[in-house]
């Protein structure tokens, strides 16, 4: 038997094993979920919670935790007479302030139905507690800790490290507030960079005080004093009226069960997990629908996917295809573009914007901003009739960065000698073997200045502002949704509910309409074969392009890096 035949047999056996496993696990997972009376929906808020996912779980049809699925589950539970309330298990939701605000808003609407929300905390940080504060009752495990210490930003600068390696970041940008390149070109915060960070911290802190004060009926000044006691035991947290009870999870169930077990003191409330409750449930499309298109990740040309260095990548081809499908679908009467992106490629952003503008000529388009809609994420939002943002959505960042990294010093340290042969004067301009000359730097700056002016024009036309007005609030400056509303960069404050109502009103749909979501979910085989270099025969150049999408900060790239918001 030849080596080639052996390899083919192994691959065939592997594929048969995968297919068999899928059918086995799918068959195990089939069957409806029976919901009894007096049932509580249990939702865990752990780790990263994206707005949406196109990935399919081959072992189960149960839905993963996303903001969209959270919205669906709570809205269904709100109308389900069998569901009497929600029990949240909150531990370290690694999400931005926009999504925190979305979750709080959804829970507040749920409580208007007269149903209860309870929260169980093992450990609580700033974001954990903001979500928990909306509850009717907050429980904390006896060994837990509540860490309310205020917000802080940490910005790491890489210039010194790069210099030790012999690498020079030769980057240009428009606007003092376009600070992404500062991480590589500065040793510390510039005055503009510090001003922006302090502004954001003030916005976040004000929102925290407002939410907790309103939900827990605690004076804002008293909350500020709590920041001087960053590590609170459950007993201390209860003394400060921050929590209501100290208990283990089974004791919480006993406590919630009391109103229902007067005849039988041992009877417990019924519970259903989030994933089980959503099993087989969806918002069924109708004759008239609103399409929600999820645009999340850093923007690049090509297909969407996951990059181990940059996380989720928003491919222009994937998003354009979704917009076209929604535009051509006769049942879709309005489109919502849900944006959660820090930006990326300016060219890809412009391609997406053009397609959205074409769609807006046929159907009303509304943008709903999530955690981030900055730089390229804001650019693509200019095709909307209305823009809805959360109070603490980070948006704007109207600016441009371009340049390269010079590896000349590193090559010298490693003993490499690079010689160049060229025909044209500027053929080497993006070569990594040296920095830009003064003349080259001048040419590149002129180029990004031209692109910045195009950015100003796009925003001017999209928002009905003069070029001068856009420039005054541009220059790379990041704004919260609250400030963006005052500056006319967005139209309304709110989340998915508000965006859906806006779309419904613009399309004159009334109360009866369905929801369709895009992009469509990829099957396991699509995901596996498209992402596996061996099976999809992706060549090395394509793999390299995926791993290094910015091509040394290629000219005309629009990007913005938001430092991690730390509350732990």
pTM for the whole structure: 0.86
The CATH code belonging to domain 289-399+436-559 is 3.90.226.10
For residue 113, pLDDT beyond 80: yes
Q: What angle do CA 26, 27, 31 make, to 5 degrees?
A: 100
- Report pLDDT for 31: 42
- Report pLDDT for 2: 63
Question: Burial of 405 by CB count in 10 Å (0-12 exposed, 13-18 middle, 19+ buried)?
Answer: middle
As a whole number, mean pLDDT of residues 341-352 equals: 96
Give the pLDDT band of residue 536 (cuts 50, 70, 90).
very low
Give the pLDDT band of residue 420 (cuts 50, 70, 90).
confident
As a whole number, mean pLDDT of residues 404-430 equals: 91
Contacts of 139 (CB under 8 A, 6+ apart): 118, 119, 120, 121, 243, 244, 245, 246, 247, 252, 255
Domain 32-149+230-278: homologous superfamily in CATH: 2-enoyl-CoA Hydratase; Chain A, domain 1 (3.90.226.10)
As a whole number, mean pLDDT of residues 204-231 equals: 95
Tell me the two tokens of residue 196. Answer: 């922006």
Residue 93, strand partner residues: 47
Report the mean per-residue pLDDT for the chain: 87
Tell me the two tokens of residue 212. Answer: 């907790």
Could you give the C-alpha distances from 351 to 345, 450, 464, in angstroms and in order?
Answer: 10, 18, 21
Where does CATH 3.90.226.10 sit in the chain? 32-149+230-278, 289-399+436-559
Please say whether the beta carbons of 375 and 465 come within 8 A: no
Rounded CA separation 310/277 (Å):
33
Residue 368, strand partner residues: 338, 388
Dmax over CA atoms of the chain, in Å, equals 92
The tens digit of pLDDT for each residue in 370-392 reads 999 999 999 999 999 999 999 99
Give the end-to-end CA distance of the chain in Å, rounded to a whole number: 59
As a whole number, mean pLDDT of residues 54-82 equals: 83
- Report pLDDT for 267: 75
Please say whether the beta carbons of 355 and 323 come within 8 A: yes
Tell me the two tokens of residue 43. Answer: 């939702």
Could you give the C-alpha distances from 186 to 183, 193, 195, in angstroms and in order?
Answer: 6, 11, 16
Please say whether the beta carbons of 440 and 404 come within 8 A: no
**In angstroms, how far is CA 338 from the centroid of its own chain?**
10
- Report pLDDT for 543: 46
Share of the chain above pLDDT 90, in %: 74
Higher pLDDT, 553 or 177: 177
Rounded CA separation 338/328 (Å):
19
For residue 539, pLDDT beyond 80: no
């Amino acid at each position: 038997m030849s080596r080639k035949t052996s390899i083919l047999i192994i691959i065939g056996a592997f594929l048969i094993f995968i297919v068999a496993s899928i059918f086995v696990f799918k068959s195990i997972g089939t069957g409806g979920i029976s919901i009894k009376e007096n049932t509580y929906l249990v939702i865990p808020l752990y780790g990263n919670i994206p707005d949406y996912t196109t990935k399919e779980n081959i072992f189960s049809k149960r839905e993963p935790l996303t903001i969209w699925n959270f919205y669906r589950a709570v809205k269904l539970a709100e109308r389900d007479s069998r569901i009497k309330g929600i029990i949240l298990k909150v531990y370290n939701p690694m999400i931005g302030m926009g999504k925190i605000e979305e979750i709080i808003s959804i829970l507040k609407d749920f409580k208007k139905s007269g149903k209860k929300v309870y929260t169980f905390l093992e450990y609580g940080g700033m974001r954990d507690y903001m979500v928990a504060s909306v509850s009717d009752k907050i429980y904390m495990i006896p060994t837990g800790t509540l860490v309310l210490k205020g917000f802080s930003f940490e910005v790491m600068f890489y210039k010194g490290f790069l210099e030790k390696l012999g690498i020079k970041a030769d980057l240009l940008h428009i606007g003092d507030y376009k600070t992404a390149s500062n991480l590589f070109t500065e040793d510390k915060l510039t005055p503009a960079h510090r001003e922006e960070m302090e502004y954001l911290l003030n916005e976040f802190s004000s929102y925290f005080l407002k939410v907790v004060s309103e939900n827990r009926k605690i004076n804002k000044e008293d909350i500020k004093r709590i920041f001087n006691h960053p590590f609170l035991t459950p007993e201390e947290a209860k003394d400060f009226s921050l929590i209501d009870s100290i208990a283990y999870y089974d004791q919480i169930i006993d406590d919630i069960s009391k109103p229902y077990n007067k005849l039988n003191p041992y009877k417990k409330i019924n519970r259903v997990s989030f994933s089980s409750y959503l099993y087989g449930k969806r918002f069924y499309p109708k004759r008239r629908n609103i399409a929600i298109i999820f645009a999340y990740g850093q923007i690049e040309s090509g297909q969407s996917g996951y990059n181990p260095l940059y996380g989720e990548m928003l491919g222009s081809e994937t998003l354009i295809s979704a917009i076209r499908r929604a535009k051509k679908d006769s049942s879709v009467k309005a489109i919502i573009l849900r944006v959660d992106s820090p930006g990326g490629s300016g060219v890809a952003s412009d391609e997406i914007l053009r397609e959205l503008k074409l769609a807006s000529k046929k159907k009303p388009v509304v943008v709903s901003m999530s955690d981030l809609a900055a730089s390229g994420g804001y650019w693509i939002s200019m095709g909307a009739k209305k823009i809805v943002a959360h109070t603490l959505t980070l948006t704007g960042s109207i600016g441009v960065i371009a340049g390269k990294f010079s590896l000349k010093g590193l090559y010298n340290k490693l003993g490499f000698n690079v010689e160049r042969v060229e025909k044209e004067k500027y053929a080497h301009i993006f070569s990594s073997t040296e920095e830009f000359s003064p003349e080259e730097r001048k040419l590149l700056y002129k180029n990004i200045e031209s692109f910045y002016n195009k950015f100003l024009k796009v925003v001017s036309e999209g928002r009905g502002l003069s070029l001068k007005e856009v420039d005054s609030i541009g220059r790379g400056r990041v704004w919260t949704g609250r400030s963006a509303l005052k500056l006319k960069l967005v139209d309304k404050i709110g989340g998915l509910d508000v965006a859906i109502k806006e779309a419904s009103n613009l399309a004159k749909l009334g109360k009866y309409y369905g929801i369709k979501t895009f992009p469509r979910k990829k099957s396991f085989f699509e995901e596996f074969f498209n992402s596996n270099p061996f099976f999809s025969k992706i060549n090395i150049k394509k793999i390299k392009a995926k791993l290094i999408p910015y091509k040394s900060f290629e000219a005309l790239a629009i990007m913005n890096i938001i430092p991690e918001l730390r509350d732990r």
